C-alpha cells in the first residue's frame, strides 16, 4: 500500500481539530457548574491553543507532498472519508457541540469522545505516512492521550456524577 498522506496533512487536520477543540472547551468552561470541571475545561482550552501553535511550528518543518495527478481524486476522497466524520474538522463545530451539552456530565462525555476520535484518526493516518514522518503523528497522538487521561480521571473522580452539574 502506498503512502498517500504526508505528516504535514495530518498536522493541518490536527490544527483544525485543536482550533475547534479550543472553542469547545472555552464554551463548556463558561457554562460549567462544578468548579473542578470549569477549571479543567479552561486548562484544556489553553492547552488546545498551545497545541495549535506547536502544530503550526511543526508544519513548517514538514514537507508537503501532492499525490500524482492520476490519483488526486481518489486521494482527496479518501482523505475526506478518513477525516470527514470527525466532528472537530468542520468550521464552527466546536461551538455547535458545546451548545448541545446540557450539563457538565454531557460536556465531559463529549470531550472524551472527541479525544478518542482524534486518537483514532491520527493512528489511522499514521499508517499512511512515510516512516520518517511518523514521529510528528506520534506527537499529536501523545497530546490527545494526555487530554483523554485527564478527562477520564475527572469523570471517574465524580466531576460529573450529578446529572445537573
More confident residue, 101 or 68: 101
Which CATH number goes with the domain that contains 28? 1.20.1260.10
Containing domain of residue 39, as a range? 7-156
Q: Is 164 a domain residue?
A: no
- CA 154 to chain centroid, in Å, comes to 19
Is 82 among the domain residues?
yes
Number of domains composing the chain? 1
The gap from C-alpha 36 to its chain's centroid, in whole angstroms, comes to: 22
* Per-residue cell: 69: 495527478
Q: Percent of the chain scored above 90 by pLDDT?
A: 28
Q: What is the pTM of this model?
A: 0.78
The pLDDT of 139-160, averaged and rounded, is 88
Q: What is the pLDDT of residue 24?
A: 94
Q: What value does the mean pLDDT take over residues 3-13?
A: 70
- Between helices 7-31 and 104-126, what is the axis angle to 10°? 180
Residue 146 lies in a domain: yes
> Does 62 fall in a domain?
yes
In a domain, 2, yes or no: no
Q: Is residue 33 very low, low, confident or very high in pLDDT (cuts 50, 70, 90)?
A: very high
pLDDT digits (tens, 9 = 90+) for 109-121: 999 998 998 888 8
Q: Categorize the per-residue pLDDT at 163 as very low, low, confident or very high, splitting at 50, 70 and 90.
A: very low
In a domain, 162, yes or no: no
| Rounded CA separation 68/25 (Å) | 39
Q: Is the pLDDT of residue 31 over 50?
A: yes
Average pLDDT, the chain: 81
Q: In this model, does residue 159 exceed pLDDT 80? A: no
95 lies in a domain? yes
Assigned domain for 68 exists: yes
Amino acid at each position: 500500500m502506498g503512502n498517500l498522506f504526508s505528516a504535514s496533512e495530518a498536522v493541518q487536520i490536527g490544527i483544525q481539530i485543536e482550533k475547534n477543540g479550543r472553542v469547545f472547551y472555552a464554551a463548556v468552561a463558561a457554562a460549567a457548574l462544578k468548579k473542578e470541571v470549569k477549571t479543567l475545561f479552561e486548562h484544556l482550552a489553553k492547552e488546545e491553543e498551545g497545541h495549535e501553535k506547536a502544530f503550526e511550528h511543526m508544519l513548517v518543518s514538514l514537507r508537503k507532498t501532492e499525490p500524482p495527478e492520476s490519483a488526486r481524486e481518489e486521494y482527496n476522497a479518501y482523505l475526506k472519508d478518513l477525516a470527514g466524520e470527525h466532528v472537530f474538522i468542520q468550521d464552527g463545530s466546536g461551538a455547535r457541540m458545546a451548545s448541545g451539552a446540557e450539563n457538565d456530565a454531557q460536556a465531559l462525555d463529549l470531550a472524551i469522545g472527541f479525544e478518542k476520535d482524534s486518537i483514532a484518526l491520527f493512528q489511522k493516518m499514521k499508517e499512511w505516512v512515510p516512516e520518517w514522518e511518523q514521529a510528528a503523528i506520534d506527537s499529536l497522538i501523545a497530546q490527545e492521550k494526555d487530554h483523554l487521561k485527564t478527562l477520564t480521571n475527572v469523570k471517574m473522580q465524580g466531576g460529573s456524577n450529578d446529572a445537573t452539574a
